[in-house]
A and B are shown apart, each in its own frame.
Chain A
Amino acid sequence: GAVVSQHPSRVICKSGTSVKIECRSLDFQATTMFWYRQFPKQSLMLMATSNEGSKATYEQGVEKDKFLINHASLTLSTLTVTSAHPEDSSFYICSARTGAPNTEAFFGQGTRLTVV
């Protein structure tokens, strides 16, 4: 299957700092990328959907000024957690798909963020 690379896999940061997570599609053009958050033993929660070159569409309850998403190219999307707090500690996962309809999405390996 297609490869989506997410970096970093783990990050520990101090409260109040910002953290950037990268999601790259390595062998296909990712027209659409999704960002999810997952707390322990809970299901994936969609945070936002981004289409290349457009502003991201955020799900209800997700603060767009706190979780900045940039999808400037067909192979790269970034999620920046701004002014991180301990409650932002979670597993963040991206997924990507092409612009063709009815295709599957492929996931990055996830980023485990710990805010101390």
Chain B
Amino acid sequence: RKEVEQDPGPFNVPEGATVAFNCTYSNSASQSFFWYRQDCRKEPKLLMSVYSSGNEDGRFTAQLNRASQYISLLIRDSKLSDSATYLCVVNGDGGFKTIFGAGTRLFVKA
């Protein structure tokens, strides 16, 4: 089993839709979590951190469920510019080991 797993997608949604991605992790001792965004032929960039209490930034909401060992990313009112690959990241080993998921591809269409 991979340490971090994501549904690769692609998710094809119309503009204005709400879309959610989940990411599961295997190490229950994992301590910190992040969502990154990668545009085609570019490097990944940090989108947001995921806190135990949840985190909201505009149209984006990230949540952590430690009991079920997954994190989620919710995008409301999708824009064409949201089309990208979304990577979840988990820090384990006392917070020193950074593990990336394979990413979920999102296509938002007009």
Binds A, one of B18-26, B60-68, B70-78, B98-106: B98-106
Contacts of B69 in A (CB 8 A): none
Select from chain A the residue with minimum beta-carbon distance to B38: A44
Query: How many angstroms between the C-alpha atoms of A36 and B104 in the bound complex?
Result: 18
Quick one: which of B49, B87, B91, B95 contacts A44, CB cutoff 8 A?
Answer: B87
B-contact 0/1 string along A86-109, CB 8 Å cutoff = 000001010101011111111111
In the complex, the answer to whether B103 meets A108 with C-beta atoms within 8 Å is: no
Quick one: which of A34, A46, A91 contacts B41, CB cutoff 8 A?
Answer: A91
Query: How many angstroms between the C-alpha atoms of A105 and B32 in the bound complex?
Result: 12
A-contact 0/1 string along B7-29, CB 8 Å cutoff = 01000000000000000000000
Contacts of A34 in B (CB 8 A): 98
Contacts of A97 in B (CB 8 A): 98
Quick one: which of A91, A100, A104, A105 contacts B49, CB cutoff 8 A?
Answer: A104
In the complex, the answer to whether A110 meets B43 with C-beta atoms within 8 Å is: yes
**A interface, size bucket:** 20 to 34
A-B contact list, 11 entries, CB within 8 Å: A43-B102, A44-B38, A95-B44, A95-B98, A100-B95, A102-B91, A103-B95, A106-B46, A107-B44, A108-B43, A112-B41
Which residue numbers of B lie inside 8 Å of A, CB to CB?
8, 31-32, 34, 38, 41-46, 49, 85, 87, 89, 91, 94-96, 98, 100, 102-103
Contacts of A95 in B (CB 8 A): 44, 98
Kindly state whether residue A32 has any CB partner on chain B within 8 Å. Answer: yes
Contacts of B43 in A (CB 8 A): 6, 93, 107-110
Contacts of B100 in A (CB 8 A): 44, 46
CB distance from B95 to the nearest CB of A (A): 3
Quick one: which of B8, B44, B95, B102 contacts A101, CB cutoff 8 A?
Answer: B95
In the complex, the answer to whether B42 meets A110 with C-beta atoms within 8 Å is: yes
In the complex, the answer to whether B32 meets A102 with C-beta atoms within 8 Å is: yes
Contacts of B89 in A (CB 8 A): 104-105
CB distance from A25 to the nearest CB of B (A): 14
Query: How many angstroms between the C-alpha atoms of A16 and B81 in the bound complex?
Result: 41
Query: How many angstroms between the C-alpha atoms of A115 and B87 in the bound complex?
Result: 28
